[in-house]
Amino acid sequence: MAVSRGAFSSRIGFIMAAAGSAVGLGNIWGFPTQTASNGGAAFVLVYLILAFCLAYPAFMAEILIGRYGQANAVTSLQKMSRTLWQKRFGFVVGFGGIICAALILSFYGILAGWMMSFAVEPLALMLGANQAADWVVNQSLERNLLFTVLFMFLTIFIIRKGVENGIEKWSKRLMPMMIGLLVLLIIYVFTLDGASEGVEAYLNPDISRVLDPNLLVSALGQAFFSLSLGTSVMVIYGSYISKKENMVSIGAQVTLIDVSIAFLAGLLIIPAMYVAQAQGVAIFAADGSLNSGPTLVFDVLPSLFDGMGGIGLFIGFAFFLLMTIAALTSSISMLEGPVSYAVERHDIERKKATTMIGLAILALSVVIVANIDFMLDLVATISTQYGQPIIAMLCCVFAGWIWYRNELLAEIKQGNEAVESSLFWKIWPWYIKFVCPVAIATVFIHSIL
């Protein structure tokens, strides 16, 4: 394994890359959608609590495992294993995460392709290509194939360039652009009639729903998906961080960015729905609940943009560009998991490994596209509802039960000498040992029953 490893060149490089992985369609589409269908602010409140109390500790376990191992997920987990059984267990957990990342990418690339196609529509209209504009926003096998392929090629293009020149450089370019677009869109939507009603619906919690078990399951699932847990991605990103960095604080910063962007996305989408309502678009489903999921993003919002006239073309373009960028900084992290494994464990050259693995995942996406009615949901459920919580829980078990406490402390101390006397060190090791595995298992069992 004589491959020289890539690394992030700076703290901000890691923060942008990890936040780029975390912030994606989950934040800008999933979170507002879940909020809309789970009683508004009650969901936001529970989400914030779970993100910091359960997802952040699990996230810390994953990035610390990676920084300690300085290698892909399998090698990192095996480095802390002492017995043969632990090493086998390390393989199962690490490789399971890699498979999970690949499966997520196979369906995520299709959704991201839809975002791209909706970004192309306003451009086509501006150029007067009305037929093409119609084609790109209507479901068809050809449309889905074309945009999935385009999106996956973009992902492969960036990952072929490596950690510093690919992941870091592009995350540093795309993340500020994405945040800028988000803020501009919020400001614009706030100036429109109906927005204040939406803000109220978003921020006024129906406290009676806070303990609803279904809401808890959705909020935890959302938090895990959003922090890219249980996929090997944060282990590999952690392995590219310098030993000089204070992991406790950069982990907290990434979580904070992720949660804040989800919150901001809600502040854009929910008010935008009420603006759409003020313009005569139906935003409630027949059962009285707010429209969510695909209807929200592909019907309600485009109707809103259409109703705005000329400026709607620019706003629609900006919105779907924002979605595409957010998806891209996430998809590159999903591809990096399997690629780093192939490069480090099987000595395959990075460009070759990226192209081969990227095309293999694309082939799976093509199969999904061809059987979209049942496969899209199936692959999403297997990977996000089963794979992610199980692997994330097992990573906590690794950090809490297999990793020697003194080795763990020595690792965190690098870049954070005073950590031993901090609140973090008093709480986190117990948390990761007992609270996280039990809480994740409980929520997981409830979700499958």
Residue 340, interface with ligand PFF (CB under 6 A)?
Answer: no
Draw the binding track, 102-121, toward ligand PFF (x: CB under 6 A; -: no contact). --x-----------------
Helix 436-448 and helix 388-397, axial crossing angle in degrees, nearest 10: 160
Report the site for ligand PFF in 63-102 (rule: CB under 6 A). Answer: 101
List the alpha helices (DSSP H) in 3-83. Answer: 11-22, 25, 31-37, 41-50, 56-69, 73-79
* C-alpha angle 293-294-295 in degrees, rounded to nearest 5: 95
Draw the binding track, 367-386, toward ligand PFF (x: CB under 6 A; -: no contact). --------------------
Residue 369 CB, shortest distance to ligand PFF, in Å, is 19
Q: Which residue, 237 or 424, is less far from ligand PFF as judged by CB?
A: 237
With CB under 6 A as the contact rule, the residue among 15, 17, 22, 342 that binds ligand PFF is: 22
Tell me the C-alpha to C-alpha distance, in Å, between residue 234 and each of 120, 295, 320, 359: 32, 32, 26, 23
Q: Which residue, 72 or 226, is less far from ligand PFF as judged by CB?
A: 226
Collapsing DSSP to helix, strand or coil, 252 comes out as helix
Nearest Cα to Cα of residue 23 among 249, 261, 183: 261
182 token code pair: 């988000």
Residue 104 CB, shortest distance to ligand PFF, in Å, is 5
Residue 26, interface with ligand PFF (CB under 6 A)?
Answer: yes
Q: Is 25 exposed, middle or buried (0-12, 13-18, 19+ CB in 10 A)?
A: buried
With CB under 6 A as the contact rule, the residue among 144, 228, 277, 324 that binds ligand PFF is: 228
Residue 73 CB, shortest distance to ligand PFF, in Å, is 11
Residue 33, interface with ligand PFF (CB under 6 A)?
Answer: no
Q: Which residue, 117 or 330, is less far from ligand PFF as judged by CB?
A: 330
Q: Which residue, 239 or 416, is less far from ligand PFF as judged by CB?
A: 239
Collapsing DSSP to helix, strand or coil, 284 comes out as strand
With CB under 6 A as the contact rule, the residue among 34, 35, 226, 416 that binds ligand PFF is: 226
Half-sphere exposure of 327 (CA within 13 A, CB side): 28
Residue matched to tokens 């942008």: 16
Nearest Cα to Cα of residue 429 among 256, 248, 221: 248
Site stretch for ligand PFF (CB under 6 A), options 53-61, 153-161, 224-232, 420-428: 224-232
With CB under 6 A as the contact rule, the residue among 73, 136, 233, 323 that binds ligand PFF is: 233
List the alpha helices (DSSP H) in 227-371. Answer: 233-239, 247-278, 293-295, 301-307, 310-346, 350-370
With CB under 6 A as the contact rule, the residue among 13, 24, 32, 40 that binds ligand PFF is: 24
Residue 224, interface with ligand PFF (CB under 6 A)?
Answer: no
Q: Which residues contact 339 (CB under 8 A, 6 or more apart)?
A: 159, 350, 353, 354, 357
Q: Which residue, 56 or 424, is less far from ligand PFF as judged by CB?
A: 56
Draw the binding track, 253-292, toward ligand PFF (x: CB under 6 A; -: no contact). ----------------------------------------
Residue matched to tokens 């199962």: 92
Residue 21, interface with ligand PFF (CB under 6 A)?
Answer: yes
Residue 155, interface with ligand PFF (CB under 6 A)?
Answer: no
Tell me the C-alpha to C-alpha distance, in Å, between residue 324 and each of 65, 117, 187: 30, 9, 20
Q: How many residues bind ligand PFF (CB under 6 A)?
A: 16
Interatomic CA distance for residues 423 and 432, integer angstroms: 14
Q: Which residue, 26 or 122, is less far from ligand PFF as judged by CB?
A: 26
> Which residues contribute to the site for ligand PFF (CB under 6 A)?
21-22, 24-27, 101, 104, 225-226, 228, 231, 233, 330, 333-334
